[in-house]
Structure 1
Amino acid sequence: MKNNESMIFVFIASIIIGVLISLNFNFKRTSNSFQISAQQYQEAYNQRNKLYSEISNLRESNHNMTNKINKYKYSDSKAEKLIEDVNKELNYNKMIAGFSSVKGKGIKMIIRDGSTEFPEGDENNILILLRTLHDDDMIKVVNELKVAGAQAIAINNQRVLPNTEIFCSWAFLRINGEQIPAPFVVNVVGDPDVLENTLMRDDGFIRTLINRGIEVEISKENEMIMPAEIGTISYDNLTLSSK
């Protein structure tokens, strides 16, 4: 009898222990696992790739700077080399900033106001407005040129810089503080084919100007000479940021 009771007790205890072990195993699995959606996975994947790209860029930048420092450090004529490189970098920055004259292939675009001659007594003020190039029109033309890959832009020999203003001043456009009369000759340095194809697409702004009656002529040029901006631009409110 005692043996039977012992066996029953062991059997019940084994069942209880097995259940506890099973519950403990499932609990641990549930607490240590989680699920993410496809969108969360994609966001995490993109973030990882972005971090890898930033790390790669930083490594490349660090490598280039280290090489430059070593070149100055171990060169016999490091002072002369330093001056030469600084001048080269200064000239390059002046070129892309618009403070030096540059040249290159591109296009020439001539924009003229449309005809405002109407039969006597049949003047149309709306058509006159539509056939006149306004400051916002020229701003859109400049933006479209930038989208087309323009590397340098000049309007009637006024170089277009990041802080160049374009607005109406009576019958003129004011650009870089100068009053510019029509017609407007827009010289552009860039790939001539890409510039022309982008500007003359059916849904482009140049097509809109032409449909309004404004005259636009575009010609490809093997060499465009772009003037430097000689105006006085103050940057006294700017300081370098460490970020």
Structure 2
Amino acid sequence: MNNNKQFFFVFLASIVLGILISTNFDIGKIQSFAQLNAKQYQNAIEERASLYKEIGSLKENNIKTKDKINEYTKEDKKNEKILQDMKAQIIDYGLFTGLSQVQGPGIVLKINDGNINLQEDTQYETDNKIFHDNDMALVLNELRKAGAEAISVNNHRIVPWTGVICNWAFLGFEDNKMESAPFNIYAIGDTEKLKTALLEEGSHVKTLMIRKLYVEIEEKDAIIMPPTTADSNVKFMKRKEDN
């Protein structure tokens, strides 16, 4: 009976061993995962430290990238603000230099030669009743002094470099354009201030009235002026930088 039991256990052990061999079961492999020698343990520690260092570097680069993106975004907004300010300045310069069409309240100063009687008037009286280029220059100066922000003569926009000369029955300007009487001088600005300045004692407009020229001042709620046709390219002057 004992011999039978021993045979049974040996037979059972043989079957189990055969199964393990057939499935390539490696006991040592299981143990290799559970236990590491000193060299393997040291290598694992170094690998883990390297991975931590790489992860930290990636996080740092990610933060720097985000900061750079935010910086670019802020810089774009800043540049956009600067660009908008520059555009606004260009518009303002266009208004003051006559490069842009403008509109606003103001006055229309209508001037024409006086009634000339060649049979009765002397040469002096005849000349006094004619509106000359120096008269136009003085009127334009009075309007500027009174605060006119924009001026035009008929359809000719007056700009800071406008000059005027007498050309027979016409007044010629710096761009070789000519205007003839009657002259409608448009001025945008404080209506009351402009009118008061032109009609005060000692003004050149008052002198024109005394010389018996036709003078009329009309107030306007809205005046539209065309842009200048004069050459606005600067050829000789340049900005002086402070040292």
Measured against the shorter chain, the TM-score band is 0.5 to 0.7
Give the TM-score of the pair, scaled to structure 1: 0.66
CA distance change for structure 1 residues 123 and 209 in 2, over 3 Å: closer, same or farther? Answer: closer
Partner amino acid, structure 2, of 1:169: N
Alignment of 1:123-138 (within 5 A): 123-138=121-136
Identity %: 32
Alignment partner, residue 78 of structure 2: 78
> Are 2:200 and 1:211 aligned?
no
Report how far residue 230 of structure 1 moved: 2.2
Aligned counterparts of 1:101 and 1:159: Cα–Cα separation in 2? 9
Residue 141 of structure 1: CA displacement? 0.4
Q: Deviations over 1:15-42 (max 9, x none)?
A: xxxxxxxxxxxxxxxxxxxxxxxxxxxx
2: CA distance, partners of 1:157 / 1:102: 13
Counterpart amino acid of 1:227?
A: P
Q: Does 1:115 align with 2:118?
A: no
CA distance in 2, matches of 1:230, 1:123: 39
State how 1:211-230 maps to structure 2 within 5 Å.
211-230=210-229
SS in 1 for 2:238: coil
Output one character per residue of 1:172-209: Cα deviation in whole Å (capped at 9) or x when no partner: 10123211111111000010001111110122111110
Equivalent AA in structure 1 for residue 91 of structure 2: N
Q: 1:194 to 1:123 in 2, by over 3 A?
A: closer
Match of 2:144 in 1: 146
Deviation at 1:82, TM superposition (A): 2.6
Distance between the aligned counterparts of 2:160 and 2:79, measured in 1? 34
**Cα distance in 1 for residues equivalent to 2:98 and 2:183:** 20
Which contiguous aligned blocks of 4+ residues in structure 1 show a shift greater than 6 angstroms? none
User: Unmatched 5+ residue regions in structure 1?
Assistant: 1-71
Task: State the number of aligned residues.
Answer: 170
Q: Which amino acid aligns with 2:77?
A: S
Q: 1:118-197 maps to which residues of 2 (within 5 A)?
A: 118=118, 120=119, 122-176=120-174, 177-197=176-196
For 1:83 and 1:239, how far apart are their aligned partners in 2?
A: 23
Deviation at 1:78, TM superposition (A): 2.7
| 1:118-161 C-alpha deviation (Å, 9 max, x unpaired) | 5x4x3421111000011111111011111111111101121111
Tell me the secondary structure at the aligned position of residue 103 of structure 1: strand
Seen in structure 2, the aligned counterparts of structure 1 residues 76 and 239 have a Cα distance that, compared at 3 Å, is closer
SS state at 2:111 partner = strand
- Give secondary structure in 2 for the equivalent of 1:114: coil
Paired position in structure 1 for 2:30:
none
Aligned CA distance change for structure 1 residues 73 and 208 (closer, same or farther; 3 Å): farther
CA–CA distance in 2 between the matches of 1:73 and 1:141? Answer: 54
Given residue 213 of structure 2, which amino acid in structure 1 is its aligned partner?
Answer: I
1:76 deviates by: 5.1
Does 2:95 match 1:95?
yes
Question: Counterparts of 1:73 and 1:132 in 2: how far apart (Å)?
Answer: 66
Structure 2 residues not aligned, in runs of 5+: 1-71
Q: Give the 3 Å change call, closer, same or farther, for CA 187–73 of structure 1 in structure 2.
A: farther
TM-score (norm 2): 0.66
- One-letter amino acid of the counterpart of residue 97, structure 2: A
> Structure 1 residues 84 and 115 mapped into 2: Cα distance closer, same or farther (>3 Å)?
same
